[in-house]
Structure 1
Amino acid sequence: MTLNARRRYGPPLPLAALALALLHAHAALAQGTPADSAWIDAPLTLQRTPQIPETIAQTERGERPSFVEGDRLSGRPNLETVVEGNASLRRGDTAIRADRLEYYQPDDTAKATGNVHVNQAGNTYDGPELQLKVETFEGFFNNVRYKFLETGGHGDADRIDFVDSNVSVARNVTYTTCRREDYPGWMPAWLLTSATLTTDTEENVGVATDARLSFMGITTPALPSVSFPLSNDRKSGLLPPVFGIDSVNGIELLQPYYWNIAPNRDATFYPTLMSKRGVNLGSEFRYLENTYNGQVRLDYMPSDTLRDRERWGFWSQHNQAFDPKPFGLDSLSGSLTINRVSDNDYWRDFSRTPSLTSRLLANEGALNWSKGDWSGQARALSYQTLQYSLSPITPPYDRMPQLTANYNKYDWNGLDVSGALDYTRFHADSAYAPTLNGQPQPNGERMLGILQISRPFLTPGTFVIPKVQLHTSAYQFDTALANGATSATRVLPTFSLDSGLVFERDTNFFGRAFRQTLEPRAYYTYTPYRDQSQLPVYDTAANDFNFATIYTDNAFSGNDRIADNNLLTVGVSTRLIDPDSGVEAARFGVAQRLRFSDQRVTLPNVPTVTDRLSDVLLGGQINWSPKWSVDSTVQYNPDERKSTRNVITARYKPADYHTLGVGYRYQAPTTPTSTDGSKSLDLSWQWPLGDLWGDASKDAGPRRDKGTGRWYAVGRLNYSLQDRALTDGVVGVEYDGCCYVGRIVLERLTTGQVSANTRIMFQIEFVGFASVGSSPMRSLSQNVEGYQPLHQPGQGPSRFTNYD
Structure 2
Amino acid sequence: MNPDKSPLVISALVLALISSVLLPSSIRAADVISAEEWQITADRIIRYAAPPCVIAEGNVILEKVQTITRQGKTPGKTDWSSLLGESPPATLTGSALPRTEKATVTTIRADWLAYDMDLGTVKARGDLLIRIGPDQLTANQGVINLKRETGIFNNATIIRQDKELHLAGRVIEKTGALTYHIEDGWIITCRLKDGQTPPWSFAAVDATIEDNGYAVLKHATFRIKGVPVLYTPYMVLPAKRRRQTGFLFPRASQSSRDGFGLELPFFVNLSPSSDLTFYPYYMAERGLMNGLEFRYVLNQESKGEFMANFLDDARSDPNDPDNAEYYRDGNYTHTNENRYWLRGKLDQDLAQWTTRLDLDLVSDRDYLTEFTSGITGFNSTNDRFLEVFGRGFQNRSDDQRKNTFRVLRSWDNGISFQGELLGINDVREDTPAPTPLWKLPAFSLTGLTPVRDTSINLTWNADYVNYWREEGVGAQRIDLFPRLSMPVPLNRYLETTVELGLRNTSYLIREYGGITWVRDDFQNRFLFEFSAGTGTTMVRDFPVRIGGIHTLSHTVRPYVSYGYIPDVDQENLPQFDTVDSIGEKNLITYGLDNYVRIAGTSDGRSYQRQYGYLKLSQGYDLRSSESDTPLTPLGLKLGYRPLGDLNLLYKSDLDMYGDGFIMHGLEGSYRDSRGDTVAVDYRYKKLENINSITFKTRLNLFNHVSAGYSIERSLEDSKTVEENAMLIYQPACWSVELASNYTPGNQKFTLMFRLANIGSPLGLGW
Aligned length: 650
Aligned residue in 2 for 1:311: 338
CA distance in 1, matches of 2:564, 2:542: 41
1:608-757 pair list within 5 angstroms: 610-612=629-631, 614-626=633-645, 628-637=646-655, 640=658, 643-667=661-685, 669-670=686-687, 676=689, 678=691, 680-690=692-702, 698=703, 707=704, 710=705, 712-720=706-714, 723-749=717-743
2:109 alignment partner, one of 88, 94, 98: 98
Equivalent pair of 1:522/1:571 in contact (CA under 8 Å): yes
1:380 alignment partner, one of 393, 396, 421: 421
CA distance in 2, matches of 1:456, 1:140: 86
TM-score normalized with structure 1 length: 0.67
More strand by share: 2
CA distance in 2, matches of 1:345, 1:510: 54
Aligned residue in 2 for 1:283: 292
CA distance in 2, matches of 1:322, 1:616: 41
Q: Deviations along 1:471-522, whole A, 9 cap, x unmatched?
A: 2212343478788886241322222335442524252252421351414142
CA distance in 1, matches of 2:755, 2:675: 20
Amino acid in the other structure paired with 2:546: F
Name the SS of the counterpart of 1:32 in structure 2.
helix
Aligned residue in 1 for 2:72: none
Q: CA deviation at 1:658?
A: 1.6
Name the SS of the counterpart of 2:342 in structure 1.
strand
Percent sequence identity over matched residues?
Answer: 15
CA distance in 2, matches of 1:641, 1:344: 34
Aligned residue in 2 for 1:227: 237
Aligned residue in 2 for 1:143: 155
Q: CA deviation at 1:470?
A: 2.6
Q: 1:598 to 1:731 in 2, by over 3 A?
A: farther
Q: CA deviation at 1:421?
A: 0.9
Equivalent pair of 2:200/2:222 in contact (CA under 8 Å): no
Amino acid in the other structure paired with 2:39: T
CA distance in 1, matches of 2:432, 2:682: 30
Q: CA deviation at 1:615?
A: 0.2
Name the SS of the counterpart of 1:527 in structure 2.
strand
CA distance in 1, matches of 2:361, 2:152: 58
For the pair 1:270 / 2:295, whether they are aligned, the reply is no
Equivalent pair of 2:214/2:237 in contact (CA under 8 Å): yes
Aligned residue in 2 for 1:527: 564
Q: CA deviation at 1:586?
A: 0.6
2:41 alignment partner, one of 80, 83, 90: 83
1:419-434 pair list within 5 angstroms: 419-428=460-469, 430=471
Equivalent pair of 2:313/2:339 in contact (CA under 8 Å): no
Aligned residue in 1 for 2:551: 514
CA distance in 1, matches of 2:447, 2:360: 32
Q: 1:163 to 1:643 in 2, by over 3 A?
A: same
Q: 1:637 to 1:287 in 2, by over 3 A?
A: same
CA distance in 1, matches of 2:407, 2:281: 38
CA distance in 2, matches of 1:487, 1:747: 54
Q: CA deviation at 1:259?
A: 0.9
Equivalent pair of 1:564/1:599 in contact (CA under 8 Å): no
Equivalent pair of 2:181/2:206 in contact (CA under 8 Å): no
Q: 1:164 to 1:630 in 2, by over 3 A?
A: farther
1:253-264 pair list within 5 angstroms: 253-264=262-273
CA distance in 2, matches of 1:314, 1:271: 14
Aligned residue in 2 for 1:539: 577
Equivalent pair of 1:88/1:101 in contact (CA under 8 Å): no
Aligned residue in 2 for 1:361: 401
CA distance in 1, matches of 2:681, 2:358: 36
CA distance in 2, matches of 1:524, 1:61: 87
Equivalent pair of 2:256/2:748 in contact (CA under 8 Å): no
Equivalent pair of 1:56/1:93 in contact (CA under 8 Å): no
Equivalent pair of 1:461/1:502 in contact (CA under 8 Å): no
Structure 1: runs of 5 or more not aligned: 5-30, 38-52, 63-70, 326-330, 434-441, 541-557, 601-606, 691-697, 699-706, 750-754, 777-804
For the pair 1:492 / 2:528, whether they are aligned, the reply is yes
Aligned residue in 2 for 1:771: 761
Q: 1:747 to 1:477 in 2, by over 3 A?
A: same
Q: CA deviation at 1:715?
A: 0.9
1:135-534 pair list within 5 angstroms: 139=151, 141-149=153-161, 152-162=164-174, 168-176=180-188, 188-198=199-209, 206-215=215-224, 217-218=227-228, 220-221=230-231, 223-231=233-241, 233-245=242-254, 249-288=258-297, 293-300=303-310, 306-307=316-317, 311=338, 313=340, 315=342, 317=344, 319=346, 331-334=352-355, 338-341=359-362, 352=377, 358-373=398-413, 374-388=415-429, 396-409=436-449, 413=453, 414-428=455-469, 430=471, 442-455=473-486, 464-478=496-510, 487-497=523-533, 499-501=535-537, 503-508=539-544, 510-511=546-547, 512-531=549-568, 534=571
Aligned residue in 1 for 2:76: none
Q: 1:585 to 1:72 in 2, by over 3 A?
A: farther
Equivalent pair of 2:166/2:188 in contact (CA under 8 Å): yes
Q: Deviations along 1:713-757, whole A, 9 cap, x unmatched?
A: 2111244555555443222222225443222222234xxxxx665
Equivalent pair of 1:463/1:500 in contact (CA under 8 Å): yes
Q: CA RMSD in A?
A: 4.9
Relative contact order (alpha carbons < 8 A, sep ≥ 6): 1 or 2 greater?
A: 1
Greater mean alpha carbon deviation, residues 286-295 or residues 588-597: 286-295
Amino acid in the other structure paired with 2:342: W
CA distance in 2, matches of 1:274, 1:717: 26
Equivalent pair of 2:198/2:224 in contact (CA under 8 Å): no
Amino acid in the other structure paired with 1:223: P
